[in-house]
Copies of this chain bind each other. A is one copy, B any other.
Amino acid sequence: MKLNTKSRYAVMALADMAVFSRNNAVSLRDISLRQGISLLYLEQIFLRLKKNNVVKSVRGINGGYILVKSPKDLKISDILLALDQKVKTVGCKKESKKSCNGKSTKCITHHFWDELDIYINSFFENKKLSDLLKIERQEYK
């Protein structure tokens, strides 16, 4: 059960921004160097973050990205949502008539997986970007 790297890097990069931004735009180049993430990959990730209104961009020299919300208001679930990283632990299609494994009834464990999804989602819903920084902040200042 893994999170994809896009989501992980997105959270890392945004955490980096929260630490290093002094009300100015943070360039992907800087994030790339500090966090050891490929610049080209970061570009792809930030495209999505921008489209989903998690960050806004400033072009040109001294440009970069700026967090739309303050870290204490930015939920981790917002970040994952921007990257299509759905917490959908199993693939039973709830909507179709034949719901699970082609049977007409829900699969025997269906309720359990729903519960799991809700459980995990609530973790991401309740964590803010600022929560991530509390512990590790010192190392980076």
CB-CB nearest in chain B for A3:
B89
Does B108 contact A140, Cβ atoms closer than 8 Å? yes
Residue A5 at the B interface, CB < 8 A?
yes
Q: Give residues 70-109 of A contacting B (CB, 8 Å).
A: 85-91, 100-103, 105-109
A82 CB to nearest chain B CB (Å): 15
Does B5 contact A2, Cβ atoms closer than 8 Å? no
Please indicate the chain B residues that have their CB under 8 angstroms from the CB of A19 in the complex: 108
Q: How many copies does the complex hold?
A: 2
1/0 per residue, CB under 8 A from B, across A41-52: the answer is: 000000000000
CB-CB nearest in chain B for A101:
B36
Does A112 contact B11, Cβ atoms closer than 8 Å? yes
Residue A12 at the B interface, CB < 8 A?
yes
Does A123 contact B132, Cβ atoms closer than 8 Å? no
Chain A interface residues (CB < 8 Å from chain B)? 1-3, 5, 8, 11-12, 15-16, 19, 35-37, 85-91, 100-103, 105-113, 116, 119-120, 123, 127, 131-133, 135-136, 139-140
Known: A12-B108, A35-B103. 17 other contacts (CB 8 A): A1-B85, A1-B87, A1-B89, A1-B120, A2-B91, A3-B89, A3-B113, A5-B91, A8-B91, A8-B109, A8-B113, A15-B109, A36-B102, A108-B132, A109-B136, A110-B136, A111-B135
